[in-house]
Chain A
Amino acid sequence: MHFTLRVWRQKNAQDTGHFEIYDIDGVSPDASFLEMLDVLNEKLIKQGREPVAFDHDCREGICGSCGMFINGRAHGPLRNITTCRLYMRHFRDGETITIEPFRAKSFPVIKDLVVDRSALDKIVQAGGYISVNTGSSPDANSIPVPKPAADLAFTYAACIGCGACVAACKNASAMLFTAAKVAHFAMLPQGQPERRQRVKRMVAQMDKEGFGHCTNTGACAVECPAKIPLTAIAQLQRDFIWANLSPDPHAASSS
């Protein structure tokens, strides 16, 4: 297959960046999108030019490293899939493909298609965990968890942290990412003791990192490779209102 690639090139965070055009021939329809970029890079290196920088690692859709904006969509033209699991047979022969980094104020560009997504880690640091020290846990079967709750918790916990939800959102909101973590723990008995403060702190941190507000367009869930459903956001909204409006029985002991 033959493609014309319009690729965003940006030397570093300070550079303004621009598109460059590359022609690429002889691409196998069974090659993944990243393997197609590998072929391009091999060609560029042979010509003594700088290869295109892009994030990637596991190449099986689970590490969340890869992420680019392809023809105006996060992770490309298919729904619910990572860039590494996108295959060239999903494009038309001869097509022009525009490749950009994920664009959001909270995701500054490092180089070419590589962006800094550490703002997502900061949201987790604000409360995306259960405070249990190693060594202090009771027997695993001492607290039964209803299967439907455990299954739903898994559905939310499947988030791979790629940031496609932010890139797809016109407000660059990290709501689906944050909600996935909040909803995961909200389903489980182990998540209850810190449930109020978790949602409050994570939402506050999300705002602090400069992510936009959620206006419920649902674009995030369309692109989310882990298929996190919008019900996560509904759960977060409910928990957030409850945590802020209903009296906290433990308020006296926590400042």
Chain B
Amino acid sequence: MSEILTAPSPTITAPLTWSEGNLIETSRCPSGDLEKRWTRHKDNLRLVAPHNKRKLDIIVVGAGLAGASAAASLGELGYRVKVFVYHNSPRRAHSIAAQGGINAAKNYRNDGDSIWRLFYDTIKGGDFRARESNVYRLAEVSVKIIDHCVAQGIPFAREYGGYLDTRSFGGAQLMRTFYARGQTGQQLLLGAYNALQRQVAAGTVQVFYNYEVLDIVVEEGRAKGIIVRNLITGEIQRVAAHATVLATGGYGNAYFLSTNARLSNATATWRAHRRGAYFANPSFVQIHPTCIPQSGDYQSKLTLMSESLRNDGRVWVPRTPGDKRRPQGIPESERWYYLEEWYPSFGNLVPRDIASRAAKRVCDMGYGVGPTGRAVYLDFSDAIQRLGREVIYQRYGNLFEMYEEITGESPWETPMRIYPAVHYTMGGLWVDYNLMTNIEGLYAVGEANFSDHGANRLGASALMQGLADGYFILPYTIGDYLATQLFVKPSTDTTAFAQAEKETQQRIEKLLQTKGTRTVDELHRELGKILWDHCGLARNAKDLAEAYNAIKLLKERFWREVAVPGTGSEFNQNLEKALRVADFLELGELMIIDAYHREESCGCHLREEYQTEEGEALRDDKKFAYVAAWQWNGENQSPTLHQEPLQFEFVKPTVRSYK
């Protein structure tokens, strides 16, 4: 056990408990034929006439793929949109770092792809823990995303005939992934950003730079607006609107080290949770198999090497544990291509959860390579020989350069060393089929919601979901709510706003007055270590219970020991960070509870007590085929679990095999 867990403070050790709430029966999912559900649902949504759209205010928080595409589309429709970003420009959100590609069921390859197959792969990839209705809709609108992005001028990779090129990604036996070199996320985000800027010029959208949302204002079960802090002046402001959309991304940074951008945080979604929004499946965290291993304590983030590399790279370790020879010197017969051996049908392209766990397993068995023994090789020598340097350069040139820059080793000469790292969160705010949380008028889109990926997300599906939500789903569904709000006049002059503002001020004051001796980063690293060790690649009841107490202790210490220099009425990056970490601490606790309560293994969630002899996930569909939606009950109160049962009418949950 790490030293963190032995810190003595028995006074606050509390048992890990929760209460059972009601079943969720109102997810607004339509019934009937799967293929007709979305169309029929759209036809039944209430509409808002153009002259009324001009009278309705919508707040969008965040301008990544989901936020920017939603804000631009809502602006095009004529709504009055206010976008808030903590960055100095809406083009900086972390969607920009997505490398590999975006899935779409276009079947341009004539390889038998279809909406059904993309739907099926996604449901299976998520280990049967997502809604059929949502996932089918996602596959259905995927084709329109590519059309729209091409029309925006996004320079996708093309073949010599001038038509779009595609490649394979994990968890699929088809080539349905569209890409723009290793910078697909950047190109798609800039497309959405350009569309957003067009609406700014048209006057329908206002973008507020350097504003962080610190609370959500709820009155009588309805979202009324937000409390923001101007990061330059420190001023706390109230903003009211008819509806609020959270597009604030995931919470992978709870682990401190992740592939996320350093500023990515959970504050908006967590604050919404504290105001009543259910948080669904918080322990479903994707750990990406191909990242550059950690090299030192100073390290601030982990760098992803795109999954697309597994198209041509082969994963192996030496057959002899502790083999210290240079990898090039190890003959073919002494290399263990464990993915190809264990999963012959998918080989190196098994889904991320499977590949990550396999890497952990071989390292645990002592086969790991590199100075720490926590790495495996990703080798391109075969592909370079087969296809030539030029082709490999075209496909992965920028990734090879990035790898060499960081590690000082060239993948042209020696295999990459890779190890899994926290990458994406499937969990998030619970939303219904309309992407609305259980708070009326509060929506969550993109990674911020939980909706489409179940217990594991397939590669190249995050971009698809973010843009599906923003371009093609929310613009329809939000009207259904707004049509009922035509006669409401948003006002910030209410007790709920006053209360939220006061609580925000108090939180900031408390942090500034603590004047402790530990930096925010030091405390955040401790949280990250607890979560990574006990709520990461593998989990078990005993460790989770200990981790729960460890986080409680850490939280208490945080509010005693944290050092935040400066004042609240100025640009203060350390204060921003402290506010985010305070929320990660509370969220971390809920992640542990969720992981503890789910006594099965599924997708990313491997409970050591529930696995097959070969170390594969053992699902328990009888007891756990549901979405776990957690309700906040107050500080130091245990949360309430609401189950949303998952019904599988069209696919039969099976043992997920990639052998």
Contacts and interface: CB of A to CB of B under 8 A. Distances in A.
B187 interface: yes
Given A59-B261, A134-B72, A147-B160, A139 B296 contact: no
Given A59-B261, A64-B91, A65-B87, 18 more contacts: A11-B570, A30-B296, A50-B566, A58-B92, A58-B97, A59-B262, A60-B97, A60-B402, A64-B92, A65-B88, A124-B194, A133-B76, A134-B475, A139-B147, A141-B106, A147-B160, A157-B155, A188-B155
B108 interface: yes
Contacts of A57: 87, 92, 94, 261-263
A209 B87 CA distance: 20
A161 B190 CA distance: 10
Interface string A161-202: 100000000000000000000001101101100000000000
B153 A144 contact: no
A51 B571 CA distance: 11
A38 interface: yes
Interface string A140-170: 1101111100110110011011000000000
A117 B88 CA distance: 7
A133 B162 CA distance: 24
Contacts of B295: 30
A48 B147 contact: no
A76 interface: no
Interface in B197-231: 197-198, 200-201, 207, 209
Given A46-B519, A114-B571, A117-B89, A140 B106 contact: yes
B571 A110 contact: yes
B153 A118 contact: no
B262 A138 contact: no
Interface stretch (B168-176, B298-306, B341-349, B528-536): B298-306
Interface residues of A, number: 81
B194 A85 contact: no
Nearest to B149: A140
Contact of B151 (A51, A137, A147): A137
A51 B300 contact: no
Of B76, B153, B161, B186, chain A has the most CB atoms within 10 Å of the CB of: B153
A128 B197 contact: yes
A42 interface: yes
Interface of B: 69, 72-73, 76, 87-94, 96-97, 106, 108, 144, 146-164, 180-181, 183, 186-187, 190, 193-195, 197-198, 200-201, 207, 209, 232, 261-263, 295-296, 298-301, 303-304, 402, 405-406, 408, 471-472, 475, 517, 519, 521-522, 563, 565-566, 570-571, 573-574
Contacts of B154: 157
Given A63-B92, A89-B408, A134 B194 contact: no
A250 interface: no
Contacts of A153: 153, 155
B158 A150 contact: yes
Contact of A35 (B90, B144, B300): B300
A64 B303 CA distance: 16
A200 to B, nearest CB: 14
Given A46-B563, A118-B88, A161-B89, A35 B76 contact: no
A140 B187 contact: no
B574 A130 contact: no
B148 A137 contact: yes
Contacts of A136: 151
A129 B198 contact: yes
A125 B200 contact: yes
Contact of A161 (B69, B91, B94, B296): B91
A75 B407 CA distance: 20
